[in-house]
Amino acid sequence: MAALTGMSEVSTVSRSDVSAYPSVALSAEAAPFTPLRMDGWQLGSSSDAEKQFSRCASKLRGLRGDSAQLREELNILFDQLLSENYNKTFDPTINIRPEGVCSLLKHASSLVPLSQEHLVIKFCQLIHHLLNQLKVIMDEHTLDILVKYTTSALKVCSTWTHSDVLLALSTIVYGNGPQCHQHLSNLLREDGVLLQYSSPSQSNMELRRVALNCMANICLRIPGQPPLDDQYRSVYFSVFLKTLQSPKPPDTDELFYCMVVQAALKGLQCCLSGGKWKFGGGEDLGSVLALLKRLMFQGAPGVSVEWPAVLYPATLPQYEGLPASKSAEPEKPAERPKDAALPGKTSGNKKRKSRGKGKKTSAEDSRGDDGEEDDKVSAPQKGGGREGGRGNMESFSKPSALSLYPSWKKNSSDSEFSDPEGNAQCKLRLYHARVRQGALHCLLAVVKSIEKRTLYSFWSSFIPDSPIGGLPPLTLLTIILKDLSPKVRACALQVLSAMLDGSRQFLAVAEDTASPRTSYTPFSFSLATAVRELHRALSLALLAETSPQTLTQVIKCVAYLVANAPYHRLRPGLLSPLWKQMRPYVRHRDANVRVSVLTLYGALVTTQAPLPEVRLLLQQPEGSTSSGLLTPQDSALSWRQRDGVSSPSRTPGSLSQWGSCTRSPRAPHTPGEEESSPPWLLQLCVSLVTQPREDQSDSEGAGTGGVSLEPSPVRLEALQVMSHLVRGYFSLVQTCLRDIGQVSARCLRESDPSIQLHGTKLLEELGTGIIQQYRTENKVPESSRVPMSQVVLFWSEVLSGPLNAALQNEQHPTLQTSACETLSSILPQAFAQLPDKTQLMCITMLLGLTYSENYLVKTAAVRALGVYILFPCLREDVMFVADTANTILAALEDRSPNVRAKAAWSLGNLTDTLIVNMESVGVDFQEELSDMLLLKMLQAATRASDDKDRVKSNAVRALGNLLHFLRRSQMTRSAFQRPLEDAVRSLVKTVQSEATMKVRWNACCALGNAFRNPSLPLDSAPWSRDAFSALCNVVTSCKNFKVRIKSAAALAVPSDRSFYGDVKRFSCVWRSLATALENSEDTNDFLEYRYSASLRHTLSHALLHLLSISQSLDMPALGSSLSGNEGRGIREHLMKYVRAEEGGGEGGGGTEGGEGAQGEKDTRDSFTPQQRIGGLQQTLIRLKGLEAAGEEERGREEVVDFLEDLLKTCE
């Protein structure tokens, strides 16, 4: 009726009323043709849909349930609403308010009685039409009304309406599962419609599919919303799993069954997404994995194997059974009869032929064993586009893909985007591909939801390890190499990438450098073989892939492999072919491919850097690796009109020629520099960052002018690769130090903050590389370092360039933060040679940025000051020390824990500087520093020691240094006495607390550091007893051996007997050390056992120290301890210590990241055995000269006898 009305309206318009189209000459500049309707409105005008909706909604609101013409009017209105296209992708200007849609649907639900089934169907279609196209987010009231209406319709209406009703219900509950909890119990009843229609016994495939789809939409979780309750998710999970495990009903159309499987896979994926695995133990997981592995190969020609019902965790590979017999019907007919029927008898003969070849070829040497069979496969595919590329690949991938029939590749079209009319086989292939894709999506959700440890036990079921002989297994690599659908291949690559991501600890066991054993195959060798097989298969995929999107996934997957494989434990040669193979792809016309290639190169120069194989590759000349390397898509790659990279002469600026890395005459050359050239990868990255694109075909990054740089993602990735290269292989790029600095400066002058940020990161890496070269412990010869004059020139240019603007760019705090970190990476020796005004600029800038409102900037500035305070040229400047101290004290009161943590770290560094100045400058520096400032630092550090652990670990370090630094005149002042006691008690409390072990060993170090101050009243202060008691308790009872080591070292610090107090306290310290030495091997944690030798070393040193300062009053206790069984045990350990049979210094673990370094010297000594024997002799001589009587004399004799016996044994 509505259609007739519309036609009559159109017929009344005369031909003269239609405006004539203006005549336009054909040209490229002509405006695109836009057809007009008879009424003059453009087709698809936003007012059409909106006016129609408003008109119908207004009429609908005017209808009443008792109207005589209600049915006809509702039919007309529903037809008119259904006839409009509300899809915003079709017309983004459509603006229909969600409130209007909800109001319309609520009112319509009250007008459509359930007895009018035709109207019910139209209304359900309208619900689906509006909610689906307008993406309406319903309010809870509308949701409740519509769910009640549709569930009532399922109970009351006839079965023939249920398909449309379920479709409407699935649209209503899409992502609203948690909000429908009051209805879920009714929907999930055993006699409920959803469970009834989703049952495997349901013969109507359409109803079954819609019911499963409705359940999947209930389980769907939209980001930001809570997940569905676990009890309901478990029920749905069981339904989906049961559906997928049940066989295809007889006489069921394959297409309809594929749609059912797709719906069940979608539901399974929704159940698994967004959380941890909660659906049973290992057997249930094995069932799901076995099911998904079977569906991964749904419709794959030639796959007719006995799929296991459960995959069991194993360390050795699992292999599928032999092909199913053609004559016997298998017990589990879910997919195998269909798969076996597709290839036909010819393919079966081919498979038997391939199996024979597989037995006589190895995994590594079978590339030339394709012969006649490969010719049969390749011949029909000439000129077949993507299949042609796959045909070339066949000769390489035969060993890993023999279980797939070559007839799979005879099709000339993927048919992924179109369904040729009348081609049922093509449509079936499309639906099978969607099933495989859904199974892989589910597998990806499983991989992300289970623990890595559990995942690795199923590793061999999805990743092959090149078995020798027999049929190769069906794995993810089979799909990556053989599947015709690029989407399916991309999904398989995503799953493989997720499995490889974070697998470094698991793959670290892999090793094949030693000769393989003949009696058995170690697990480490199997893993190494799997890594090699991954390299081989992914390399073949690179050669054959023509889809840019899938090619990007292949390269990303290789990057995950490279980032996690332990190449230092594998035979060299895996990375060289990959390095060469990637060279052509840097010129690929697709920007995403270029980005992924750079990501891979970044992984190559990052993994276990510096790796000898990668170092050799970087040192090779540019043209030496590309000869003879062609890929099937070379014609698509060469979008740059040159070999390799752009010529440096094309650079708009005045950058140096990268072939020679020219420099200022003032900068001396490193020996052998003239013969070296910058790595090809560095030249490539520089050209991508700085040089214009020669081909403007890319839409990304195309400029309005004649010159356009690479797209921003490519340039950013190139800058990251440069940073990785500088970090891992600084010695290879140091000859181009100034040139790289110019690249960074150019980036800082650009307007894109991301480019500026990566430019500062690159500068920071350069500064860090220089610092690493000049560190004494790295033992880099002076001839191999960057000359100091060149370092000074480099930083002079950087600090006079655009870095200052980045430091002051308040609109981009992240850029300011990175610029602060760049300032902190200046070599201290080079900073001292910078002009005074440059030094002052750096200091002033950092002091000012500590007052930034952004916590990231403040954190970086405070940390940089903590670095500068250690510079030799600044640490003796009292004014700078005072300014830095006041700035740090203010930062310690900040609300952000990150700022407070860095402020505590900087305060620890500042107090380290005080100790260094005290030892080098002397009392003059102590007197110059304000007493009030010291008091403020002591009080602030005491308060910070009650903060979070990451603040506390450095606060206690600062307390130890301050207690060491204080003079006697300060300690006797009343203003210092209470803060002094609070500081020591805070350290004692931290030692005895349940804080992290790092905090506790830093507190032990701090007490030992405080004990070094001879002005500290250890003998008389009331808090000294608690300090010694805490250390004695920890040295005997702490489970962490590093804490024991630090406490033992602290107990050995006091240099005079009087500091230990009375005889009772001295005896307590001795007994604690002796007991700790006796129990130094008692631990249940194997990780602690490795520190037991260092613990015994420190305890032995402490005991000998106590003997060396002991007095006559101590002899009875010492004699009784050394004369019995306890003495024999102590004698054995002291003998090993004197002979240096057990090394020391292994336990100095309290200095991670340079934090807490003051305690390191306590646990190690450089004495030779002769020096230790000499010290023992001096102790013996001193003890013999002690005046004693009675019990003291007897004890002295026992101690002397013990030491004489020990000396005889050691000499």
Q: What is the pLDDT of residues 746-756, one digit of tens each?
A: 999 999 999 99
Low-confidence winner among 410-419, 515-524, 914-923 (lowest mean pLDDT): 410-419
The mean pLDDT value for 1047-1063 works out to 92
Q: What are phi and psi of 846, to 5 degrees?
A: -70, -40
pLDDT tens by residue, 1171-1187: 888 888 998 888 888 88
Exposed, middle or buried by CB within 10 Å (0-12, 13-18, 19+), for 1045? buried
What pLDDT does residue 367 have? 33
What pLDDT does residue 635 have? 38
Would you give the DSSP letter of residue 545?
-
d(CA 842, CA 826): 10
Residue with the two structure tokens 């419609």: 193
pLDDT tens by residue, 205-228: 899 999 999 999 888 888 777 778
What pLDDT does residue 521 have? 77
Q: What are phi and psi of 1136, to 5 degrees?
A: -65, -35
What pLDDT does residue 601 have? 95
Q: In which band, very low, low, confident or very high, does the pLDDT at 866 lie, cut at 50, 70 and 90?
A: very high
Average pLDDT over all residues of the chain:
79
Is residue 90 pLDDT above 50, yes or no?
yes
d(CA 400, CA 473): 8
What pLDDT does residue 1092 have? 85
CB atoms within 10 A of CB 1151: 17
- Give the residue from 730, 658, 727, 667 showing the smallest Cα distance to 688: 658
What pLDDT does residue 281 have? 66
Would you give the DSSP letter of residue 474?
-
Angle of helix 1063-1078 relative to helix 1041-1051, nearest 10 degrees, comes to: 150
d(CA 692, CA 681): 18
The mean pLDDT value for 703-716 works out to 76
Where b means 16+ CB within 10 Å and e means fewer, 836-858 reads eeebebbbebbbebbebebbbbb
Is residue 323 pLDDT above 90, yes or no?
no
Cα–Cα distances in angstroms (integers) from residue 1081 to residues 117, 790, 1086, 1093, in the given order: 83, 53, 10, 9
What pLDDT does residue 352 have? 38
Q: Which residues contact 384 (CB under 8 A, 6 or more apart)?
A: 391, 412
What pLDDT does residue 624 have? 55
Give the residue with greater pLDDT, 280 vs 79. Answer: 79
d(CA 617, CA 598): 16
Q: What are phi and psi of 623, to 5 degrees?
A: -85, -5
Q: In which band, very low, low, confident or very high, does the pLDDT at 423 lie, cut at 50, 70 and 90?
A: confident
Cα–Cα distances in angstroms (integers) from residue 963 to residues 368, 560, 929, in the given order: 76, 50, 15
What pLDDT does residue 490 have? 95
d(CA 643, CA 909): 52
The mean pLDDT value for 786-791 works out to 94
Rounded-to-5 percentages of helix, strand, coil across the chain: 65, 0, 35
pLDDT tens by residue, 381-399: 333 333 333 333 333 333 3
What pLDDT does residue 819 have? 95
Give the residue with greater pLDDT, 67 vs 293. Answer: 293
The mean pLDDT value for 179-185 works out to 76
Give the residue with greater pLDDT, 1069 vs 51. Answer: 1069
The mean pLDDT value for 601-629 works out to 79
Token code pair at residue 1202 = 């013990």
Question: To the nearest whole percent, how much of the chain has pLDDT over 90?
Answer: 43
Q: What are phi and psi of 305, to 5 degrees?
A: -120, 165
Q: What is the 3-state secondary structure (H, E, C) of 949-972?
A: HHHHHHHHHHHHHHHHHCCHHHHC
Is residue 899 pLDDT above 80, yes or no?
yes
What DSSP string describes 150-197? Answer: HHHHHHHS-GGGHHHHHHHHHHHTTT-GGGGHHHHHHHTSTTSHHHHH
Instruction: Return the SS3 of 928.
Output: helix
Whether 487 and 433 have beta carbons less than 8 Å apart is answered as yes
pLDDT tens by residue, 518-531: 667 788 888 898 99
CA angle, 211 as apex, 209 and 212 as ends, to 5°? 65
Q: Which residues contact 1174 (CB under 8 A, 6 or more apart)?
A: none
Residue with the two structure tokens 């909000």: 179
Give the residue with greater pLDDT, 1106 vs 924. Answer: 1106
pLDDT tens by residue, 926-978: 888 899 999 999 999 999 999 999 999 999 999 999 999 999 989 889 999 99
Is residue 8 pLDDT above 60, yes or no?
no
What pLDDT does residue 1106 have? 93
- Give the residue from 899, 895, 816 showing the smallest Cα distance to 863: 899
Q: In which band, very low, low, confident or very high, does the pLDDT at 1128 lie, cut at 50, 70 and 90?
A: confident
What pLDDT does residue 24 have? 41
d(CA 443, CA 435): 12
Low-confidence winner among 48-52, 168-172, 267-271 (lowest mean pLDDT): 48-52
Is residue 421 pLDDT above 50, yes or no?
no
Is residue 127 pLDDT above 70, yes or no?
yes
What residue spans of 800-871 are helical by DSSP H?
A: 803-807, 813-823, 828-833, 836-849, 855-868
What pLDDT does residue 621 have? 76
- Give the residue from 973, 855, 957, 980 showing the smallest Cα distance to 907: 957
The mean pLDDT value for 564-593 works out to 91
Would you give the DSSP letter of residue 52?
H
The mean pLDDT value for 345-357 works out to 38
> Of 269-278, 664-673, 866-875, which has the strongest mean pLDDT?
866-875
Is residue 914 pLDDT above 90, yes or no?
yes
Would you give the DSSP letter of residue 574?
S
The mean pLDDT value for 122-134 works out to 91
Would you give the DSSP letter of residue 647?
-
What pLDDT does residue 1090 have? 79
Is residue 479 pLDDT above 60, yes or no?
yes
- The count of C-alpha atoms lying within 13 angstroms of the C-alpha of 196, restricted to the half-sphere facing its C-beta, is 12
What pLDDT does residue 979 have? 93
Is residue 1165 pLDDT above 80, yes or no?
no
d(CA 890, CA 899): 10
What pLDDT does residue 186 have? 75
Whether 254 and 275 have beta carbons less than 8 Å apart is answered as no
Instruction: Return the SS3 of 23.
Output: coil
Exposed, middle or buried by CB within 10 Å (0-12, 13-18, 19+), for 649? exposed
pLDDT tens by residue, 981-1023: 999 999 999 999 888 888 998 999 999 999 999 999 888 888 9
Q: In which band, very low, low, confident or very high, does the pLDDT at 376 lie, cut at 50, 70 and 90?
A: very low
